[in-house]
Structure 1
């Protein structure tokens, strides 16, 4: 209910193309500092509503950033990514239903530095897990010749507006293969995961509000 109220307070889920679409401001408070986000319900209404609902339900409280993908630990033979992944846990909240996938070709968003996007297995399986880009990586966008064979890409739904130094500090944490899920092949999992104290929506900005 709270998520619906917040989204309704912003504006209808459409964009007039003037850059003044509705936004929400959210804060991820971690043991290393605060990451402030601008979320885009006009562009990615399903992903934003899902993130807000889990945040307001407290599902991220006590979670963590547990994965840091960097050029030194990404899979060989492919252009490396640079991002951090976090949320409830690598497989997501067990009882959470997957949400409809919102590809970047639909939303007009992209995996640029600071973008926050939904982690998933197959399209439509995203639940609670998300990742934040440390560097641009357009191969995570939808389209042919991209990182995943399904060509669906990942669903960007917001952008870091403050706290990139916290994102970078998380990305620099020691990683190991020993911390990874079974059958995972790359040493990308943080030895001492960075605790998420809370995730909260702190402000709703109506269309055009300064």
Structure 2
């Protein structure tokens, strides 16, 4: 089970993080975690290109190393990149030095000041230190596309029901999410555009 909207206590625990952008503007922010991988990222890029939408991709360093051509396409097509660690590390299971070293290894490839911790969690000490150099981005809407227990229809519903002004929306370009993303992403984009929302990228 996951919460589509973050529970309040998380915002209290991680005051350094950004969970939602300006609620007074009808801008929304589409983000993707865990890629790039050949199984789904090119499909997502094709979809975004067709819909004329730009997004922010929080990339895993080892995936960039394995698939540089997809990463370069992402940049060439005007999308924004964030750091998601080199090996998709769990911060709370990793010593601070090792965690920071891993982030720096990814940073050599991404060269961004946007960071999202894998699993949306890290030690408070890690977040506090990272907040000095990075804009730490969490989310306002977690679609649950990675969850094998939810249907593509529910994933779509999670997105359109909870999105509001300033929402930072999370989809995933990973293997687990493929079926849900292929159904929910294009339908969500079409619906949200019809509702008058403007898709924006996060500002590094």
The structure richer in strand per residue is: 1
How does the TM-score come out when normalised to structure 1? 0.27
The structure richer in helix per residue is: 2
How does the TM-score come out when normalised to structure 2? 0.27
